Amino acid sequence: MGFLQLEQVSKLYGEFAAVRDFDLEIERGEFISLLGPSGCGKTTTLQMIAGLVTPTNGRITLDGRDITREKPARRGLGVVFQSYALFPHMTVAQNVAFGLEMRKVAKAERDRQVAEILSLVKLTSLADRYPREMSGGQRQRVAIARALVIKPPVLLLDEPLSNLDAKLREEMQFELRRIQRVVGITTIMVTHDQAEALSISDRVVVMEGGKITQVDHPYSLYEHPKNNFISSFVGKSNFLAARAMNEATGVSLRVDNTDLKIPATGSYPGGELCLSVRPEKIRLTDPAGAMLHGPVSSRYFLGNHWLLSVSTPAGEISVAVANLGAPPPSEGDITGLTWNIEECRVLAAEQESALQ
Ligand code: ATP
């Protein structure tokens, strides 16, 4: 049994299911991200764990205790919202001490614990500042310190970094992970940013329309997405129409009257299929003998790599080319494209039209 467990948890608003049959076992000390597009039910799930929303069906247990209908205060979980919700008239130290005061912890012990946690989030020197005198990233650390100081069994984070600019956000992602590791606290974070979810989580839960579509370690999720929705939502992908020639020997990609044989890596449903190929898996080659070829229709320099779009009989194909010195072909140049066939995914075609 997981440390935190959700069994068949649903939340209905009238006929509408914001979350449906959510099943997940979370181990002690795990960092889990709930990832998905706006409205997929991430926040509702987090709020059901926090006790701010009551599930319509299902059961939530924490360390074996049924907390499904327990009041938020009794659960004692740490919650950090997007807005941080710091008390503006209190200093950093007072903000962090607040939860301990509520729990009637004696002053000397309170001071000790506040000092310890401020050191953990690297805010010792700013203990006497007010929130308005701090940057977004610093305020964010105060909010985390305030949630952690009461030593909650679980930390819940709702889009905690979304108010920060791109660079600070990236720094705070690693900082958040560092703090989580030091404390060893079981953490669940809501985000709609796939890079954020991949970079800091032990496991990512992808949601769509109130349901879980895949739960996996970041690398497996990226390399083995279950369907086209995940393939395009987690990273970028090219989708190529394909069809099964022979289920035993594999599928064949029909492009411009040429069949490219793709060896079987599993059993495929009959009929129309789709191949998902990541832009960074594609290599530029001589057009003769390449899997596909065509003119470069656009080329952008992005610092560590170039992003090319190539017009092929199979459609526009995006290719990410590492910046290793010489620039890749220019717009209008004809180039060949090739990739290791083991590195593309075979997916059911109907999911593509339904989910893209
Ligand atoms: P976002 O990333 O935009 O915050 P989310 O994935 O967190 O989205 P939720 O806030 O969990 O999504 O909402 C899931 C769905 O439930 C949405 O369609 C939302 O409109 C609906 N919903 C949420 N709260 C209520 C409510 N109190 N009454 C009716 N519908 C609600």
Query: Which residues touch 1 (CB under 8 Å, ≥6 apart)?
Result: 25, 61, 64
* Tens of pLDDT, residues 174-214: 888 998 998 899 999 999 899 899 999 999 999 999 999 99
Q: Does 42 contact ligand 1 (Cβ within 6 A)? A: yes
Please tell me which residue, 119 or 9, carries the higher pLDDT value: 9
Task: Assess whether the C-beta atom of 15 lies below 6 angstroms from ligand 1.
Answer: no
Residue 3 near residue 64 (C-beta atoms within 8 A): no
DSSP 27: -
Q: State in Å: Cα 211 to ligand 1 middle.
A: 13
Residue 210 CA, closest ligand 1 atom number: 14
Confidence of residue 12 (pLDDT cuts 50, 70, 90): very high
Across the chain, mean pLDDT equals 87
Tell me the C-alpha distance between 140 and 121, whole Å. 10
Q: How high is the pLDDT of residue 256?
A: 54
For ligand 1, atom 2, name the residue with the nearest CA.
38
Q: Which residues contact 276 (CB under 8 A, 6 or more apart)?
A: 225, 228, 231, 237, 238, 239, 344, 345, 346, 347
The separation between the first and the last C-alpha atoms of the chain, rounded to the nearest angstrom, is: 36
CATH 3.40.50.300 intervals, the chain = 4-228
Q: State the fold for domain 4-228.
A: Rossmann fold (3.40.50)
- Ligand 1 atom closest to the CA of 45, numbered from 1: 11
Return the CATH fold of 235-355. Answer: OB fold (Dihydrolipoamide Acetyltransferase, E2P) (2.40.50)
Residue whose entry in the numeric block shows the structure tokens 């805010």:
123
Q: Is 219 in the pocket of ligand 1 (CB under 6 A)?
A: no
The CB density around residue 119, as the number of other CB atoms within 10 Å, is: 12
Would the CB of 209 count as within 6 Å of ligand 1? Answer: no
Q: CA 131, CA 71: separation in Å to the nearest integer?
A: 29
Residue 39 CB–ligand 1 contact under 6 Å: yes
Query: Using a 6 Å cutoff on CB, does residue 35 contact ligand 1?
Result: no
Atom 16 in ligand 1: which residue has the minimum CA distance? 18
Token pair for residue 274? 């789709």
Nearest to residue 240, comparing CAs of 249, 231, 300, 333? 231
Closest CA to 71 of 55, 54, 86: 54
Domain with CATH 2.40.50.140 in the chain: 235-355
pLDDT for the residue 257: 58
Q: What is the pLDDT of residues 241-259, one digit of tens each?
A: 877 666 555 566 665 556 6
Q: Cα of 80 to ligand 1 centre, how many Å?
A: 18
Axis crossing angle, helix 136-148 with helix 92-102, rounded to the nearest 10: 20
**Cβ 187 vs Cβ 155: under 8 Å:** yes
Mean pLDDT of 136-165: 88
Reduced 3-state DSSP string for 129-156: CCHHHCCHHHHHHHHHHHHHCCCCCEEE
Q: Ligand 1 mean position to 208 CA, how many Å?
A: 12
Can you tell me the mean pLDDT for 121-148?
90
For residue 43, the ligand 1 atom closest to its alpha carbon is 7
Q: Please check whether residue 252 is in contact with residue 243, taking contact to mean a CB–CB distance below 8 angstroms.
A: yes
Polymer length of the chain: 356
> Which residue type does 27 have?
E
* Atom of ligand 1 lying closest to residue 14 CA: 29
- Euclidean distance between CA atoms 115 and 123, whole angstroms: 9
Q: Which atom of ligand 1 is nearest to the CA of 34?
A: 6
d(CA 132, CA 146): 16
Kindly report which listed range (265-269, 276-280, 295-299, 323-327) carries the lowest average pLDDT score.
265-269
Name the residue with the closest Cα to ligand 1, atom 21: 18
pLDDT, residue 262, reads: 61
Largest CA distance in the chain: 79
